[in-house]
Amino acid sequence: MMKAITSAVQNLMGGAPSRPRMIANFAVTYRCNSRCRTCNIWQTPDAGRDELSLEEIRALFESNRGFLRDVASIQLTGSEPFMRPDLPEIVAAIHESLPRCTFWIPTNGMTPQTIERAMREMLATLGGRGLGISVSIDGIEKTHDAMRGVDGSYARAVDTLERLAALKGEHPGLGLTVGMTLTPHNYGEFREVYALARSHGADFSFRPVNFSDIYY
């Protein structure tokens, strides 16, 4: 999956750089509105209590411009990044300090209208380019809903994908990917998810489920 993201980032940048550049992950929240079988972060009590504020994030990147000068792209992760209503402002704040940096955001697609609205704001800030988003879809309908632990998750994710595909029509520089986490429960629907992605003009990436003692 990282190779796919790296390729997508290079496309956002206009090709491979002449010198090695870094891709950074920055978790903006640990809040999540899914109940995934492959992740237990949603079980964390008071998940949003220790989040950095917008001003703290602004100060962090402003005071570390030199240290971060080789960062080509930042993946804004979390649990679910769009749980932060100030996500567009976070992107704007980082962009002020790192104007050449591109952004990539993974999402579960659970809030289609919120995601579309935020993406429009971020595209306006970034001049219609340098932004990519990956919608996680882990199977077709029942399988996806079971994996995500919330009924209706698939319908919402597809709604989000459709909105983003339309937005990409307005902003061709927008990167759009469907990401799939493969498990013994969903690998048989790999081709169907791939076809769904391609039918919406999205790239497709996948990775096997990873078991770890830490969350990152």
CATH of 2-208, one of 3.20.20.70, 3.30.1490.20, 3.40.190.10, 3.40.1160.10: 3.20.20.70
3-state helix/strand/coil string of 84-137: CCCHHHHHHHHHHHCCCCEEEEEECCCCHHHHHHHHHHHHHHHCCCCEEEEEEC
Task: Report the amino acid identity of residue 201.
Answer: G
Tens digit of each residue's pLDDT (9 = 90 or more) over 50-78: 899 999 999 999 999 999 999 999 999 98
11-62 pLDDT per residue, tens: 554 555 555 579 999 999 999 999 998 888 888 777 777 899 999 999 999 9
Q: What is the pTM of this model?
A: 0.87
Tell me the per-residue pLDDT of 168-211, one tens digit each, with 9 for 90 and over: 999 999 999 999 999 999 999 999 999 999 999 999 999 998 77
